[in-house]
Amino acid sequence: MQHPEKPPTRLLNRNFFLLWQGQFVSRIGTQVVIIARVFWIKHATGSAAIIGLIQMLANLPAVFLGPIAGTFADRYPRRTIIILSDVLRGLAVLSLAALMFLAPDATNLILLWLLVTAIIIATVSAFFAPAISAAIPDLVPRKRIAGANSLGQMSVQLSVFIGQGLGGTLFRLLGAPLLFAIDGLTYLFSAVSESFITIPQPLPEKSGRWQDQFRAFRRDTVEGFRYIWQRNGLRELLLISALLTFFTVPIIVLLPFYVEDFLGAQADWYGFLLAGYSVGSLVGYLLAGSLRLSGRARSRWMVTFIVLESAGYGLLGLVRDPKVALTLAFLGGATGGFISVNIMTILQLSTPGEIRGRVFGLLGTISSSLSPLAMGLAGVVADLLGQNIPLIYLACGIIMAALSLTLLVNQHVRDFLAYEPEEELLPPVEQRVVPLN
């Protein structure tokens, strides 16, 4: 067990800043590589189905490993999991870059190793994600958790803005191999930065017999399932979120075809649209981190934004002007950013620290459970429809808007989104009744 430290008193304390810094750098590299990977596959094969298939297979590990990974984050040092994850991901990406440099014409071999690398990264990330989410509330003051989540999500979207905004241009100028090499080095930089942090975490006692450890591991995993299932609002929100994600995925997978074949724009606009979404998300994160809304007001705004974000995706299928598409991307980012920070904060505040890893691992599994299927189907359906991307976008948007409207009549979900920590519900000190002995 790590030595206990005094509770943090500042948001930007040493531990949180080192973690944030490392993640920010590695995320920039990752976002650049997303564009390099998609357009390398598109130019090498010309098939939307292959892009969707590779993304589907690469995301399957996260779906199956989420519950196990979450239990690991509660039973083993989160700091070790975080550092080791970045090291393994960095080495995997560097191996792909080396293959591209040494055998640039071996298209089939590169495709195969790209898939293997994507699966390795997804597997490791399944353990990394719940460890990070569970650690944040222990690195900052309780009242600053929303601010920490805002900063964390801001780093995600800033990396999208920087990495993907320039990614299309960098892909043309530098090529995929060099971009993959840079991404691998950013992971290693992140691991070095994380090695200087301390994450307070009480760890359970472990029996020496492997049979006892396995039974305890299984019991802890089941406890995480039970915790989520017994909370009506959380359970129903996750089910609706999984369905919304299913219909969001085709929009993301088919975006390169939407940009080049429907909007008639260069690959640079793929990055511009993603960057526009990231700038909008920054606005949403700032609003979520700075506004002090009451529970009921926050719930109403979140449901409204979910409906508007869903409708905005469908509208993309009706516009042909890249600038209008960019505006819709910005508005979608703003609503999505506000929603994600608030949901993350509610979960971190309402979940006991000792089971936080299990809960976030399961949340990742449930919310993304349909994503691999959607990724695989998106490309196949697009090819069957003659790559009629606007029709697919419009259909997905209509279905998502209909699903979002069900939240308006679901009292359990609205109560969950209105959660307030108990200490914030107490009256001011001078108004409390102090019993006399």
Report in angstroms the alpha-carbon separations of 339 from 146, 292, 304, 363, 407: 12, 14, 10, 16, 13
Give the confidence band of 191 by pLDDT, cuts at 50, 70, 90. very high
Q: How many CA atoms lie within 13 A of 317 on its CB side?
A: 20
Residue at 5 is within a domain:
no
In a domain, 433, yes or no: no
Look at residue 219 and tell me if it is in a domain: no
**Cβ neighbour number for residue 327 with a 10 Å cutoff:** 16
What one-character-per-residue DSSP string does 304-322 give? Answer: HHHHHHHHHHHHGGG---H
Task: Assign residue 411 the CATH number of its domain.
Answer: 1.20.1250.20
140-161, pLDDT tens digit by residue? Answer: 887 777 778 778 777 876 777 6
Q: Cβ–Cβ contacts within 10 Å for residue 347, how many?
A: 19
Residue 216 lies inside a defined structural domain of this protein: no
Query: Of 121, 134, 122, 56, which is closest to residue 347 (Cα–Cα)?
Result: 134
What was the pLDDT predicted at 213? 61
Residue ranges in 165-294 assigned as alpha helix (H): 165-174, 176-194, 210-229, 232-253, 255-257, 268-290
Q: What confidence score (pLDDT) does residue 260 get? A: 79
Domain membership of residue 220 (yes or no) is no
Task: Identify the DSSP state of 7.
Answer: P
| 376 class by beta-carbon count within 10 Å (0-12 exposed, 13-18 middle, 19+ buried) | buried
Q: Which band of pLDDT confidence, cut at 50, 70 and 90, is reported for residue 164? A: low
Q: Alpha-carbon distance 48 to 29, whole Å?
A: 24
Residues 6+ apart with CB under 8 A from 44: 107, 110, 111
Q: What pLDDT score does 192 carry?
A: 92
Single out the residue of 291, 328, 282 nearest to residue 308, CA to CA: 328
User: What does the block give as tokens for 121?
Assistant: 């990264």
Q: What is the DSSP letter of 267?
A: T
C-alpha span between 208 and 341 (Å, rounded) = 41
Q: How far apart are CA 147 and CA 10, in angstroms?
A: 11
- Rounded Cα distance, 286 and 151, in Å: 9
Question: Is there a domain that residue 427 lies in?
Answer: no
- Judge residue 412's burial from the number of C-beta atoms within 10 Å of its C-beta, 0-12 exposed, 13-18 middle, 19 or more buried: middle
Q: Which residue has the tokens 């984050």?
A: 73
- Do the beta carbons of residue 304 and residue 339 sit within 8 Å? no
Residue 320 predicted with pLDDT over 90: no
Q: Over pLDDT 70: what percentage of the chain? A: 85
* 213 belongs to a structural domain: no
Residue 253 located in a structural domain = yes
Average pLDDT over residues 229-251: 83
pLDDT at res. 426: 39
Domain that residue 332 falls in: 14-198+228-420
Q: Is the dihedral of CA 160, 166, 171, 176 positive or negative?
A: negative
Type of residue numbered 264: G
The pLDDT of 198-205, averaged and rounded, is 74
Q: How many domains are there within the chain? A: 1
Neighbours of 278 (CB within 10 A): 25
pTM above threshold 0.75: no
